[in-house]
Amino acid sequence: MNKDQLAKVAQAMVAPGKGILAADESSGTIKKRFDAIGVESTADSRRDYREFMFRTQDAMTQNISGVILYDETIRQNAKDGTPLVKLIEAAGSLPGIKVDAGVKPLPNFPGETITEGLDGLSERMAEYYKLGARFAKWRAVIDIADGIPTRGAILANAQALARYAAICQANDIVPIVEPEVLMDGGHTLERCYDVTEFVLKTLYDELYEARVFLEGTVLKPNMIVPGKLCATQASSEQIAAQTIRVFKQTVPVAVPGIAFLSGGQADVEATANLDAINKMAKLPWNVTFSYGRALQAAPQKAWAGKDTNVIGAQKAFSHRAKMNGLASKGEWSRSLEG
């Protein structure tokens, strides 16, 4: 592996004021999003949607450090024939790629899942590198409910993340490691803390065992939040305090940055929580965003599949990117949302 290159790319992914656009929705997921705005999901409509974001100059140059792509998207050309990867690069942003094959039930562990996709991954990584990818993403999913998560399921997912990360680095691609503790259900803030702490400790044990170069990685975790159905919700300050606490307990300082997933939070809520974390403490990592819905919900609704709406949709995307860029430096305020 080229450690200097990996470290340089990882640092660029979490540069101050910038974060990562997660545009890696599977065909099934983006169909659901398009159904909600009355747009048919076709190869062309998916391309047109992503193209207008990649051509949003101020957002892409000022606030987006990298874009996570889906296999279809990394191979697509814009309407004028320019590869979408080249649009991202022209804005000074880094192309990335989702490489996992999704979650499947974990045998003998009812209600728990394992992420698949390790078979043939090294060969796919080599191809993605040639297509322009300089980082990748693999998502593990940990649910909280009665009796779960179990140690066995957490360990299995951490081992898969570690193997993926090692394969990435062998191909000079920076791995985003994403162990998502879901915010579904009725669990408390404290329960989310306990599970996340164990997940992250297990993850970094496995990354060490796999000899992963931590300076060439980025962590994409959940924030410490109560479940959506919990009777007691939490303020941004409470979420920030517990999130900071768990990372100080678990994440090595060699890791260059933490880029949060939004995990179903509303767009302004995700921005407010990120800002509170950065306002509350000076941390040894750059702490930023890797949002999908929390960046795209507003532009998606504004676009609604119509060319005449592209400018308005780009303005909505620029606004959310700017708000999250400010939050990544602890400089956001709710008054800026007007």
Q: 332 to each of 59, 273, 297, how far by Cα in Å? A: 16, 10, 19
pLDDT at site 27: 87
| Known active-site residue 18 | no
Here the tokens at position 81 are: 């024939």
pLDDT at site 338: 80
Check: CB of residue 187 under 8 Å from CB of residue 148: no
Q: 93 to each of 84, 137, 327, how far by Cα in Å? A: 12, 16, 19
Q: Given 18, 98, 137, 220, which residue is catalytic? A: 220
CA atoms within 13 A on the CB side of 119: 3
Here the tokens at position 246 are: 């768990």
pLDDT at site 278: 98
Q: Given 178, 180, 197, 206, which residue is catalytic? A: 178
pLDDT at site 228: 95
| Known active-site residue 237 | no
Check: CB of residue 243 under 8 Å from CB of residue 200: no
User: What does the pLDDT profile of the chain (338 residues) look like in tens digits?
Assistant: 899 999 999 999 999 999 999 999 998 999 999 999 999 999 999 999 999 999 999 999 999 999 999 999 999 999 999 999 999 999 999 999 999 999 999 999 999 999 999 999 999 999 999 999 999 999 999 999 999 999 999 999 999 999 999 999 999 999 999 999 999 999 999 999 999 999 999 999 999 999 999 999 999 999 999 999 999 999 999 999 999 999 999 999 999 999 999 998 999 999 999 999 999 999 999 999 999 999 999 999 999 999 999 999 999 999 999 999 999 999 999 999 98
Which residues, 6+ apart, have CB-to-CB distance to 81 below 8 Å? none
pLDDT at site 44: 96
**Overall pTM surpassing 0.75 (yes/no):** yes
H helix runs in the chain, sequence order: 3-13, 27-36, 43-54, 57-62, 71-74, 84-90, 121-131, 151-170, 189-209, 236-250, 267-280, 293-303, 310-327
The identity of residue 44, as a single letter, is D
Which residues, 6+ apart, have CB-to-CB distance to 119 below 8 Å? none
Q: Homologous superfamily of 3-337 in CATH?
A: Aldolase class I (3.20.20.70)
Whole-number Å distance between alpha carbons of 155 and 204 = 11
